[in-house]
Each structure stands twice: as C-alpha cells, then as structure tokens.
Chain A
Amino acid sequence: MPERSLRNCHVLIAEDEFMVAESLRHELEDVGAIVVGPCATLEQTLAEIASEGERIDGAVLDVNLAEHAVYPAADMLAERGIPFVFTTGYDASNLPPRFANVLRCEKPISMSRVARAVGEAMFAKLPPGGKGAAGSPPP
C-alpha cells in the first residue's frame, strides 16, 4: 500500500502515557503532521475536539485514558466523520461492537506504524458521514 502523506494534516493524539504521547508526537511531526494535543484525559480530549474539531483531520486514541474509556471521544469524532484509530493494551473482545471496524493498533506498536495507520484511515474511501473507520488491518 503506498504511503499517504500526512503533511500539514492535523492529527489529534489522546494518550495518557507521556512517553508514548511524546514518541507519537515526534513520529507524526517527522512526517510533517501538525499534532493536536496530546491529551492525557478524556475531558481534555473532548474539549479539544469541541474547539478544534473543524481542523482535525484524523486522530489516534488510546482506548484507556487515565482509567476512563475514550469511547465518548470516539463517538464524537465518528459523528463528525473524522477518521481515527485506536491504540490499546486490551483485546479486541473488550471493544464495544460499534467500533468493531475501527482500525486498532495493539500495544506495543511501532510509533511509525501508528502514524502510517492513521494515514491509511484518513485516506481510505469512506462513505459520506461514515464511521471514520477503515476495515483493513494494519500491514
């Protein structure tokens, strides 16, 4: 699959682990993306989507943010048709069924692969107002 360019795309990061968030930020910035966040809590994430929603092109969401599930933020993105991927330490079986088609990067995962995955999710052919999800698994 040809790599899509994330140059100048706004990518939201929701990740409570600082080190991981930093790595992800570096990786995305390395490919020219503009990072929104990163956000360590669900509250921050929701606030960021609410204020920056217009500009956000894609998102990387840690499923578990400081003991809270990130799903409300995911639902909010889906409503706006913004594609996103999950990063998670959990099994797929733990995800609610409505996110079954969301691309999921299980930890630990190479940050560059997450960056690539969010690119794929963003450039996938999406139905209008789609769930912002890509059915294909990460390469």
Chain B
Amino acid sequence: MNDQQRFLRHRKTLIEFGELVLDGESLQDILFKGCQLIAEALGGGEVRIKKVEEQSESIQASSYGKIRAQGIAERITQAPSGAQIIVDEAAHGEFNEIVDAGEPGSIGSIRVPILLPGRKPYGLIEAEDIPLSVFRPRDMVFLRLCALLLGVAIDRLDRVRDLIAAGERFRVIVENARDYAIFLSDKDDIITEWLPGATEIFGWTDDEIVGKPAATLFLPEDREKGLPETELETARRHGAANDKGWRRRKDGSRVCIDGRTIALRKPDGGLCGYMRIGPDITHRQQDEEELRQNEERFRQFTAASTSMLWIRDARTFDLEYANPAYVGLYGDRLDQFRGWLRNIVPEDRRGALVALRRVCQGERVTHQFRVRRAHDGAVRQIRNTDFPLLNTRRKVQRIGGIGRDVTDEVANASRMQILVGELQHRTRNLMAVVEATAEATLRSSSTLDDFKSRFRDRLAALARVQGLLSRLDEGERITFDELIRIELKGIGAPEDDPSRVTLRGPRNVLLRSSTVQTLAMALHELATNAVKYGALGQEQAHLSVTWSFEPKGEDARPWLHIRWDESGVPVPTIRSESSGGQGRKLIEQALPYQLGARTSFRLGGDGLQCTISIPVSRRNVEDGSDA
C-alpha cells in the first residue's frame, strides 16, 4: 500500500469515524469500532483505547499489565498535543524512548492522548506492533484527528449519560415525595405535569387533572377573591410566591398546603409556566388549631376566674404565669420573687416562704397570709393552695397555686360566730325571763286557771316581741308606734276605732333593741289590765296613748315621753293586788331598773294615768329621722 492509498484510506476512515461519532449511541460501540478503524487504517497492529481511571490511579486496559496512571497522565499533560512513538526494543521493554522514525523493519508503539473539551485528559489511543518503517508524520496527524473526534464523541456521550442519571434521580425523588404535592403548569396556569405526590394529596390522577387550570384546586371562595391570580402575579414579579392555605381535594374535602409557587422562565427570560410544590400540613394545621383552642380555653378560664392562678419556677421562685385576678391583687410588677414577698405583710412572710419550700419538697400546702393589695393598699386575707408540678423525671420543676381572697369569708365567719353566740345568749336570757315570769305569775295567781290564762297572755306578748326582735338581724330598728299598735292588736283592743282609742305621736321613733322586750311587757300589762278592768273593757271609756320625742333630754340623750290615759271609766273596777300589781310593778320598778326610765303610775277617779319616759336610740338624732 503506497502513501497515496494510505492517505485515501485515512480519509475514508475519518469520514466513517466522523459518522460513528455523530451516530454512536453507546460509548462501548464507538470505542470498539474506533479501535477497529484505526487498526485497519494503520495497516496492522493492535489498537487499544485506554482510559485514565482517576480513582484507581491505574489505566484501564484490556491486555497490558498495570501502568501507573499518574505517570501516564503526567506524560499526557506534559505533552498534550504531542503523540509519542515508543520503540519497543524488547517485548516488554522500556517505553520511554521517542523516535521520529524507525529503522526499516523495526516495530514500535504509538500513543496519542485523547483530550476532552477543555483539554481534560481522558485516556489514550495505543497502537502496538506498528511497522515503524512505513510510519509517516501523516499517520500521526490521522491518529490525532481520530483522538480529537473521539474526545468530542466521548464528551457528548458522557454528558448524555450524566443527564440521564440526573433525570433518573430527579424522577425517583419526585415520584417518591408522596407528602409533597408537586405539579407544573404552563404560562396560562393549565396543569401540564402532575406528580404522584399531588395525586396522593389532592386525590386527582394525572389523567383527570392535566389540562385543567390550577385554580381548580382552590376553594371556591378563594377563587372569588382572586387568590390564584394574586399568587401568580407575585410569583411572576418575585420569582416565587408562598401559598400556604386551604385547598380543595377531588372529593370536596379540604387540605392545607404549605406551598410555594415558582415562576419558570426560559433562558431568554420569557415565562414558560409555573411549578408548585408544598407539603400537606393539614394534620399539623389541625394540631395547631387544637393547640390554639386549648390555649384560648385556658385563657378564658383563667381570665374569668376570681381565684388567683399562678405558676412559679421551683428553683428561682420567679413567676412564670399569673392570671388577671393575680395581677389585680399583686399589681403588674410581677417579674421578681422579692416583689411578691414585699406585698405580703411582714409578719406573714416567713410562713409563706416556709409553705413554698415545703411545696419544693413535693408537698401540697394550703396556707393563709395577708397581702397589701397593690392598687389601694387594703390588707386582704389570702388562702393559697400550692402544689408541685413535676417534670418527666418526677422532680419538682414548677410550683402551681390557686389563691383565694377570703377576707370577706373570714369576716363573715367571725360575724356568724358572734351572731350564734348572741342568739344563744338571747335565747337563754329569754328562757330565764320566761321562768321568772312563770314564777312571778305563780306567786300572784289565786287559782291554777287564773295562772293559766295570764301566763298564756304573757307568753304571747313575749312571742310578739321576739317576732319584732328577730328583724334586728336585718339591720332594722323597732319604732314605738309599731310596738304599741302590735301590742294593742295582739290583745284584741279596738285600736282602729277613734272613739275608743286615740294613738297620737311622731312616727318612726326608734327604740333601743335592749329596751324593746321590757317596754313591750310593761305595755302588755297595761293593755291587758285595761281590757279587764279599764278603758278597753268598757264601751263608753276611752284610751289615749300619746307620745313625744325630745331630741336632747336628760344626759344629752334623745328621750321618748309616753302618756297612757284612760278616761270614762266611771267606777274604776277594783284592781286586785294580784292581777293589776304586775303591771304597776313593771312600770314603777322594772322600767326604771332595767331601762333607766322615769315613770309615774296613778289610778285616778276617771281611770289610769301613767307616764313613761325612756332614753331611745341615738340613731333618732344621728340619722336625721323625721321623728
């Protein structure tokens, strides 16, 4: 084969090589066929393509033994454009001698580097057992052209392979991201790509949804508000838009997506569509909502509570939580423990501290102390129940407490105790009066029947007074006009008949409660005697009870002056000592003795005349009563 023929063959081989590079689908094919074409073009020998394996630092070769990669790579980079002709002196001799042309009959190896675009070394073409006598520089050019073409082809296929691998990785990621809805839409926001996570979350398959507007996924009310358009507008302007919110699933139920809408642009900047991606946070949202409602419930509860609710750190005693009732008592400067302590009256501080320390030991403590209320300085009795709040290791981490203002309660309890004592006192005294009345009645009674009727009357009079006195607990006072009317009515006197009875005097003269019973009993004796022997027992007779009020009488006290006048009793019935005596005794002795009264008792020819003056309640003056 002459030079011309070799040249033509080289050209044909190059064209075939070029087509191989253009059409080759597989790197292995290209490399294999490449070796074949080169060997044919060189007219013999063995051609290999070796790749620098960077990781293993060795050259991947089919038949040769290991050659250190670094050495080769070094050589290649040192002489990137130069090919090497290595004279193979022995079968496996030294490779480092480079010759321009060989002696006739000599056999050699030729190595040409394969460089990828950017001059990154890929490997080399190695032709062995080449008859160097016929080897020409032109052959070298041919080999170098082959190496260039191979470099381009390898690069192209590498890129394709990388792309395919990346695409595969991407596919695996997005198809398995089932918790994420990912889909693409075109520039009119019509859905074009619908990934499995979107199906999982929204319920539509890609067949059902692709081709529909992405707005389909919005709630009707959000569509009306123009939310989809707003979102796209934001994405176009800023590249992306957050779109967290509730969306509609295929079955109409709602799903919460914490999504992002990303505008996709072509290299020239023109909009080509949108990508949406976002996780389903419905459960998280529901949990948050539940949490929020719990907090709201707690807030309402503690805000409405009149008890003071609080939580302290068990180590520092600093306040971590306090409700409005607590703030109402202690004020709003709640940060420091010392501040709290200062609100407590000094004598009670130690007790409060001891209680807190006991809670730190895990005890539950109810204790009472006094607090100077922040806004008005009033001292309030507080009853606290403090309890330990434990952490997961069962250690006291916090102290919780419920405090109640028991000031009124304590005052009520002690007032109640006084009232009960008072009631007992009054009852026992009354019993003593009843007994004394019985004995006095017995002493003056001639017969048992006589005793019976008079004792019954006196008991009834006492009972009426008790009825009046029982109202005193309601803060009322008994007035004289009330007392006289009730007594007259109680014994059946015609107190409404002006021809028989005249009652005249200021209304509302308040009586001292301690005087009511004795005065009532005296009036009772006068009245019953009047029924039996005097003005109330005889049609033509008349009873006149008049009274006047003296605001500043003896001892500078207010006095009440009462006149009891019976008239028209022509022949005064003989009042036996035994019966009328009790009334007289009460008037003349009991009232002065017990009430400090001034009295007179005179049985005139026309009937009984009696006067009673008693000190009355100072409230008559102080209250500016109309009496």
Contacts and interface: CB of A to CB of B under 8 A. Distances in A.
Interface of A: 16-23, 26, 38, 40, 64, 66-67, 87-91, 94, 106-111
Nearest to A94: B421
B614 to A, nearest CB: 13
B15 interface: no
Given A90-B424, A107-B428, A16 B435 contact: no
B412 interface: no
Contact of B431 (A22, A23, A107): A107
A37 to B, nearest CB: 10
B432 interface: yes
A70 to B, nearest CB: 13
- B: contact size bracket: 20 to 34
Interface in B414-434: 421, 424-429, 431-434
A40 B593 contact: yes
Nearest to B431: A108
18 contacts: A18-B518, A18-B590, A19-B440, A20-B429, A20-B432, A20-B433, A23-B439, A26-B443, A38-B593, A40-B593, A64-B425, A89-B428, A89-B432, A90-B425, A90-B428, A107-B432, A110-B435, A111-B435
A17 B586 CA distance: 11
Interface in B183-237: none
A16 B589 CA distance: 12
Interface in B582-601: 586, 589-590, 593-594
B58 interface: no
A17 B424 CA distance: 16
B304 interface: no
Nearest to B590: A18
B302 interface: no
Nearest to B512: A67
Nearest to A27: B439
A107 B427 CA distance: 9
A117 to B, nearest CB: 15
B514 interface: yes
B79 interface: no
Contact of A108 (B425, B434, B590): B434
B430 to A, nearest CB: 8
Interface string B437-459: 10110010000000000000000
Nearest to A16: B594
A23 B424 contact: no
A89 B439 contact: no
Contacts of A23: 435-436, 439-440
B425 A17 contact: no
Contact of A26 (B421, B425, B439): B439
Contacts of A108: 428, 431-432, 434-435
A111 to B, nearest CB: 7
A23 B586 CA distance: 13
A109 to B, nearest CB: 7
A89 B433 CA distance: 12
A17 B595 CA distance: 10
Nearest to A24: B436
Given A16-B594, A66-B514, A22 B427 contact: no
Nearest to A19: B436
Contacts of A22: 436, 440
Contacts of B427: 89
